[in-house]
């Protein structure tokens, strides 16, 4: 029994050490990247959304792909916000919707908007297939319009996504570096004040997750997402006829493929995209379980990563660490966390043997709190600096709620593992809700750009 406990304690120490090393590396690398660019953590803290073409340099031809399946609740506002780009074409991919998605998109768009309809039996084959189909259309348009393929960018947005004001002003110059193949902007939750779940999602995306992405700039392995993803046309074209895979996380799969082909993956702290957060716990569980399953299944590509001569050891190591997070951290920690709690309760006398008065007790509790809640403290500091509209109390509550919300992560990780074992690959689309005011129309965008 003693040997078993020793093994478990060693495993616990290993998991804690590895997770802490990776966490500290990406976090402080993020701070360093911001400092190197003479920016603060609070950059974009007061960002507004809906006018992405303000001060657009118009140095690239851009194609915004918006995959849609029954998105009538949100698509109109998203398309309207994409009107007015000087060299932009918006392609709404209606993937077999049986509501008014296509009609609303046509009404909301301008002369640069194309509604690309997919019908059965080809429709509803997954987001990757919808994007691949639209990419064939982009190939055709680039050739017909005589555009320089090396000066064409593909932007992928969700049907509820809205880029920050002046986003293209910040994004386009990054691609002047010929080594950059993809870029991902930070994500903000638009309906964050709806309930605790939406506030917590915003806290996750807008604090340490964004900072970690900045840190991953050092290795050029920033993870791409499905909303606010920008890629170079020639990079996608070099992959083949179908650059996006059928993976549940086709965005992560694409990031790995681009990295393997030698492209650097970037982010820019001065642009972001907002989207709706999930308001119900059951739907949030389904969404996160899908993310976990896609992420966990992508580890099958570790062999490709380490056998690829185009990847340096540092880039391969960072990609591997990121891909292994669910396997090495979430799943084991869901068990070891409770093991540590039990062991602490059983050894309270030994743990507090140092106490000889109130002062020593307070010092010990303070040290224990900092060691146990270090990431929470750091996330609260980052979040407060990135969103000055939040109070210290609300940020502390959100930070410490990780104790409870970790159980959602544990459940999603184990649920994803079960689906992998049982061979289940299907997933439910995230449901949107209708919103109030739409973003500015074309005239307002033109006035702001002039």
Best CA proximity match to 310, nearest among 264, 257, 262 = 262
pLDDT, tens digit, 9 for 90 and up, residues 410-448: 999 999 999 999 999 887 777 788 886 444 444 444 444
| Strand bridging mode 88-95 / 113-118 | parallel
CATH top class, domain 1-450: alpha beta
Q: How many CB atoms lie within 10 A of CB 2?
A: 6
Please answer whether residues 289 and 416 qualify as being in contact, where contact means their C-beta atoms are separated by less than 8 angstroms: yes
- Which residues, 6 or more positions from 61, have their beta carbon under 8 angstroms from its beta carbon? 87, 88, 89, 142, 145, 147, 148, 151, 152, 153
CA distance 285 to 412: 6
pLDDT, tens digit, 9 for 90 and up, residues 388-411: 777 888 888 888 888 889 999 999
- pLDDT given for residue 433 in this prediction: 86
Best CA proximity match to 131, nearest among 226, 257, 209 = 226
The pair of three-digit structure tokens given for residue 388, joined into one six-digit string: 């000055």
CA distance 375 to 24: 9
CA distance 213 to 160: 22
The pair of three-digit structure tokens given for residue 273, joined into one six-digit string: 């995209």
- pLDDT given for residue 436 in this prediction: 60
Which residue stretches of the chain have pLDDT < 70?
Answer: 1, 436-450
3-state secondary structure at position 230: strand
Boundaries of every domain in the chain: 1-450
Best CA proximity match to 319, nearest among 334, 298, 333 = 298
Question: Which element (helix H / strand E) includes 114?
Answer: strand 113-118
């Amino acid at each position: 029994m003693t040997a078993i406990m020793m093994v478990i304690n060693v495993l616990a120490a290993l998991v804690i050490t590895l997770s802490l090393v990776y966490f500290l590396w990406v976090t402080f690398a993020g701070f360093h990247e911001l400092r190197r660019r003479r920016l603060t953590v609070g950059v974009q803290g007061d960002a507004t959304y809906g006018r992405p073409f303000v001060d657009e340099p118009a140095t690239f031809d851009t194609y915004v792909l918006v995959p849609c399946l029954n998105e009538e609740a949100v698509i109109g506002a998203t398309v309207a916000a994409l009107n007015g780009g000087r060299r932009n074409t918006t392609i709404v991919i209606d993937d077999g919707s049986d509501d008014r998605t296509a009609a609303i998109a046509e009404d909301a768009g301008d002369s640069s908007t194309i509604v690309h309809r997919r019908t059965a039996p080809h429709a509803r084959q997954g987001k990757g297939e919808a994007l691949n189909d639209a990419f064939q259309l982009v190939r055709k348009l680039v050739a017909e319009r005589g555009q320089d393929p090396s000066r064409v960018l593909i932007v992928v947005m969700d049907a509820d996504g809205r880029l920050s004001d002046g986003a293209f002003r910040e994004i386009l110059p990054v691609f002047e570096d010929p080594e950059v193949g993809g870029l991902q902007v930070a994500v903000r939750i638009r309906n964050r004040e709806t309930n605790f779940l939406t506030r917590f999602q915003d806290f996750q995306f807008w604090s340490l997750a964004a900072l970690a992405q900045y840190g991953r700039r050092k290795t050029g392995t920033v993870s791409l997402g499905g909303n606010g993803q920008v890629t170079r046309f020639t990079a996608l074209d070099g992959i083949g006829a179908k650059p996006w895979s059928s993976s549940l996380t086709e965005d992560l799969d694409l990031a790995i493929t681009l990295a393997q082909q030698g492209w650097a993956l970037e982010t820019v702290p001065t642009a972001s995209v907002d989207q709706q957060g999930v308001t119900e716990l059951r739907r949030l569980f389904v969404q996160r379980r899908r993310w976990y399953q896609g992420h966990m299944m992508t580890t099958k590509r570790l062999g490709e990563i380490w056998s690829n001569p185009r990847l340096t050891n540092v880039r391969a190591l960072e990609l591997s660490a990121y891909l292994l997070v669910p396997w090495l951290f979430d799943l084991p920690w869901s068990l070891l966390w409770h093991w540590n709690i039990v062991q602490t309760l059983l050894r309270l006398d030994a743990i507090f043997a140092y106490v000889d008065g109130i002062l020593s007790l307070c010092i010990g509790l303070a040290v224990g709190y900092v060691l146990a809640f270090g990431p929470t403290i750091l996330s609260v500091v980052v979040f407060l600096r990135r969103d000055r509209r939040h109070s210290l109390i609300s940020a502390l509550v959100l930070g410490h709620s990780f104790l409870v919300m970790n159980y959602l992560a544990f459940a999603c990780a184990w649920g994803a593992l079960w689906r992998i074992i049982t061979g289940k690959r299907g997933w439910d689309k995230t449901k949107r809700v209708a919103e109030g005011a739409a973003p500015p129309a074309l005239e307002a965008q033109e006035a702001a750009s002039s």
